[in-house]
Structure 1
Amino acid sequence: MPTRLDELCHAQGIALKRIPLRNAAVLFIGAVCLCLCALLYLQLEQSRRHDLSQAQVASSNLTRAMAQQAEDTFMQADLVLTSLVDWIQADGFGSAQRPRLQKTFVRRVQALDQLHGILLFDQKGQWVVTSFEALPRGNGVADREYFRFHQQNISSVAHIGPAIRSRENGEWIIPISKRVNDRKGQFQGVLLAGIKMSYFEQFFKGFSIDDNGAMFLALTDGTLLARRPYVQAQIGTSLAKGEIFQNLLPRATSGNAMFASEMDSIVRLHGYRQLEAYPLVVSAASSRDSILADWYDTAFRSSAIVVLVILGIGLIGWVFIRQVRVGEQVEADLRQAQQALELIATHDSLTGLANRRLFERALDIEFGRGARQQSPLSLIMLDIDFFKRYNDTYGHVVGDHCLAEVARAVKSCCHRKADLAVRYGGEEFAVLLPDTDIQGAMNLAEQIRRGVMDKNISHSGSPCGYVTVSLGCYSFVPTGRDSVEVFIQRADAALYQAKHSGRNRSATLSVEGGAQALVRSDR
């Protein structure tokens, strides 16, 4: 709650608002650091997206090249098989035709690097003609997936089956086969061309990918045909539950996606594409760490620079804030000193009550307020009875103690913050009461008189034997043309009347019709 002194000082323009410089400095330094971090984040995020975008373009181009090469590889074998099947179905594959067929098979295999061999099987799965010098011996191929497929399907379209080991020499091959019918369209056998697995291994090695990159060729059902890096145990495994076959291919036949591989859990950017002519899928993937290697290096260096800048700003800011804090402490000390000086200048050092300087300032303010609000203003003047005798009897030190006790009694009766208790001079005191009529002033005066008596301060020079006070009250409504001196003189006249009437009493002074009337109150 503001005190009477605070209100007066504010009215005089003494109270000033201080700019919170330290808080502003902390906010500014924090904002600068946050802006630097935000700019770093935006720059790094933009750079990361650019690198990933470039990698996606490269991945799409790579898978397109892989798809084209794979399609060309199988199409060449398919064309060879188609021409041979037409010949066999027209001329048959009796003993007379077999030598010629064998030579033709050999020439076709020699013409295409990807071919392991060409083999013709009868309707029971036994070897009839091959591109090899001698026919293999054994139980035939009736158990093979491609042979059963053609037995059960009359389609003349080439069939690509899972990778198998050749029973001729144990080499891994990818079989592409076609059904052979007789003149009546009945199943007569299967013509097969084996694509070398090593051909795709060499093909994959021709592409530049990182050490953790991967490439594969698979059937559309997810069966793995070939892969880089080559792991023999993985050939023929199913990728059907992987991200590409499970989620991506059903939505689009080609695209890019970043995910962890189901083979080795390495996070890669996968480009994939399904071939148009054959039920095959190719994919090329580069590891995320390889794609972002340069970005990681840039991010580390940029972050280190920003950290150093932030540390520098923080150090400078700390020094600045420390200086501000020192300045604030100096300002606080000066403010305390100013308040102490103000207290000394406006209060009596012995009693702690306001002095005449503050009293005169308050009178000017209250006269103006009372005139504006048409409210009464009252003044009580009081004096310690026979105080000269008290000093002569007990000494000035005890006299000062008596003044302090009377001041405490006066101050304890002033309950409102607007009331101002003043040491007017010597043993004389005053109480200024805004918004108080004469009756209120008399009531407070009686409270003060009784409060002093209740302290029972011994006074052998007083007829009562203890210290008493006499009080004079005056009240009026300011008009804006009043004299402060007259106001004080009339309260002082009432005090004189109280002392003249026997002391230890309160008196009032009222002005009616231009004449003075004294009213005495003995209690």
Structure 2
Amino acid sequence: MPIPIHDPHQAPGGTLKRLPLRKAAVLFIVAVCLCLSGLLYLQIEQSRRQDLANAQMASANLTRAMAQQAEDTFLAADLVMTSLVDWIQEDGYGAAQRPRLQRTFARRVQQLEQLHGMFLFDREGQWVITSFPDLPRGNGVADREYFKYHQQNVSSVAHIGPAIRSRENGEWIIPISKRVNDHAGNFQGVLMAGIKMSYFDKFFKSFSLDDNGTMFLGLTNGTLLARRPFDESLIGTSLAKGEIYQTLLPNASAGTAMIDSVVDGVTRLYGYRQLESYPLVVSASSSRDTILKGWHDRAFQSSVIVALVMLGVGLFGWVFIHQVRDGERIEKNLIKAQRALELIATHDSLTGLANRRLFEQSLEIEFARGARQSSPVSLIMLDIDFFKRYNDAYGHVAGDHCLTQVAQVVKNCCQRKPDLAVRYGGEEFAVLLPDTDINGALAIAGQIRRSVMDKHITHSGSPTGYLTVSLGCYSFIPLGNDSPELFIQRADAALYQAKNAGRNRAAVLSMDGGVGELMRSDR
């Protein structure tokens, strides 16, 4: 039972088992890379949300400004028309009043930049008075949407109709009109003011938008009135199936949303708002790609930087892990060499049995244990009979081989883990038997003696013709202050008595240490 110079379960410098450094290094590097990736994701995602939030705020502010401008534009025209309608309904529009009304129409148009012109139509839809010097020629406006509306509705509220081309000069206008009644409240005609499409186009262009950005003014039924960028083919088309009209406006009169345009399919962030005073909806949008362009650039730069850092960490970790692996290999070699040195220091190089140094250490340990537990400790000393004659007859090489065979027999007879087989010196061996009384020691001694004989090792110098051994046994219960030397001497005394009695036998020294009576085992 070898006793190592140091405890292999004790980590240097502490009581805790040493961590597997290479695995810890790999886990640390993986954790660092995961943390960097997680922080990069959080930073990128936060930046994206911030850019979208800023764009939403800008879009909401823009639509608020558009709504205010549109309301002011139509309100100014509405107020002018209301005063004129009151005047016309009170004084009529006969031949005597027409010159004055024409001058008034012209002044009002000059005062309001957004107005294209003002027009009064009779109950048949024919021109009566306009802000222009000459009346247009033609069949009138009985076919226009706004005229039909007032024919069928008695409401005095201003009506805003779909954009049309003026029959005066072909310019695109947005009509805002009011019904004119006689004193009895019967339909007498329509007063219409045309809001220039170019006025809204100019207003829209005063805002900074990206190339894919849009702005529009539409009726609450989805009819498109004005748009930036201006596209004549889209004027008057319906946006009613778009998400703004279908989903957003029924739930909130103002807001923002990222949606795909029903006009061109481009994904944009739309801000929308429905006017409170008029059946109008304004909207402004910026394309998602433009909003996130700066974010994409920052995300790419951050990703490159983190990737370089992770590459550096990975390279450092690779070098570190290789150094750790080399260190572990060196440490294993050192441990292996240390164990070899311990084996050399505590075991006989020829037989592989424990040497005297380990035997002496084991004696101290077993004496202390025996004293604590009041258990017996036994020792067998054995010697090869006539070994000098064996060496002289067969040579030292054969003698070494003989020693090895006997040592193997002794080792095989030590069945328990605490038992220790020792080469005590030359051809002499010892067997330390903890927790074993004299009867157990004698039994093992007899087993060793018979096993050596069963080897049938030829020995011409022995009376039997074969190799034999003599054994001496001694057993006692340690008291705590016992002498190992005396213990060995008594077992050795039993051995000499076995030799003196004729060899090839086991002798037992009595417990009181006397040398008179012997017990023999020669069977």
TM class by shorter chain equals 0.7 to 0.9
| Residue 172 (structure 2) pairs with residue 175 (structure 1) | no
Q: Distance in 2 between matches of 1:416 and 1:152?
A: 118
Cα distance per residue 1:91-145 (max 9 Å; x no partner): 3445665555455444433433322333444455555544453445348444x54
For 1:480, the equivalent position in structure 2 comes to 480
Structure 1 residue 194: Cα displacement: 2.6
* Residue pair 1:497, 1:520 contacting (<8 A) in 2 also: no
Cα distance per residue 1:279-316 (max 9 Å; x no partner): 22222223344344444444444444444444444444
* Residue pair 1:473, 1:506 contacting (<8 A) in 2 also: yes
**Distance change in 2, residues 1:227/1:13 (3 Å):** closer
| Alignment gaps of 5+ in structure 1 | none
Q: Secondary structure at the match of 1:367?
A: helix
The aligned amino acid for 2:66 is M
| Residue 280 (structure 2) pairs with residue 280 (structure 1) | yes
For 1:467, the equivalent position in structure 2 comes to 467
Q: Secondary structure at the match of 1:382?
A: strand
For 1:364, the equivalent position in structure 2 comes to 364
| Residue 2 (structure 2) pairs with residue 5 (structure 1) | yes
Structure 1 residue 72: Cα displacement: 0.9
For 1:89, the equivalent position in structure 2 comes to 89
The aligned amino acid for 1:66 is M
The aligned amino acid for 2:349 is S
Alignment of 1:93-132 (within 5 A): 93=93, 97=97, 100-123=100-123, 125=125, 127-131=127-131
* Residue pair 1:8, 1:362 contacting (<8 A) in 2 also: no
Q: Distance in 2 between matches of 1:240 and 1:450?
A: 112
Q: Secondary structure at the match of 1:467?
A: coil
TM-score calculated relative to the size of structure 1: 0.85
TM-score calculated relative to the size of structure 2: 0.85
- Greater CA deviation, 165-174 or 331-340? 165-174
Cα distance per residue 1:185-231 (max 9 Å; x no partner): 33344333232222211111111122222222222344332222233
* Residue pair 1:458, 1:467 contacting (<8 A) in 2 also: yes
| Residue 214 (structure 2) pairs with residue 228 (structure 1) | no
Q: Distance in 2 between matches of 1:234 and 1:241?
A: 15
Alignment of 1:269-308 (within 5 A): 269-308=269-308
For 1:137, the equivalent position in structure 2 comes to 138
For 1:490, the equivalent position in structure 2 comes to 490
Structure 1 residue 320: Cα displacement: 4.2
Q: Distance in 2 between matches of 1:6 and 1:91?
A: 129
Q: Distance in 2 between matches of 1:438 and 1:220?
A: 115
Q: Distance in 2 between matches of 1:220 and 1:495?
A: 122
The aligned amino acid for 1:467 is L
Q: How many residues align?
A: 519
For 1:377, the equivalent position in structure 2 comes to 377
Q: Distance in 1 between matches of 2:24 and 2:8?
A: 29
| Residue 143 (structure 2) pairs with residue 146 (structure 1) | no
| Alignment gaps of 5+ in structure 2 | none
Q: Secondary structure at the match of 2:336?
A: helix
* Residue pair 2:11, 2:18 contacting (<8 A) in 1 also: no
For 1:61, the equivalent position in structure 2 comes to 61
Q: Secondary structure at the match of 1:290?
A: helix
Q: Distance in 2 between matches of 1:15 and 1:461?
A: 55
For 2:202, the equivalent position in structure 1 comes to 202
Q: Distance in 1 between matches of 2:67 and 2:7?
A: 87
Structure 1 residue 399: Cα displacement: 2.0
* Residue pair 2:507, 2:520 contacting (<8 A) in 1 also: yes
**Distance change in 2, residues 1:155/1:506 (3 Å):** farther
| Residue 238 (structure 2) pairs with residue 214 (structure 1) | no
Cα distance per residue 1:16-36 (max 9 Å; x no partner): 865655555555555555565
For 1:74, the equivalent position in structure 2 comes to 74
The aligned amino acid for 1:86 is D
Q: Distance in 2 between matches of 1:264 and 1:465?
A: 116
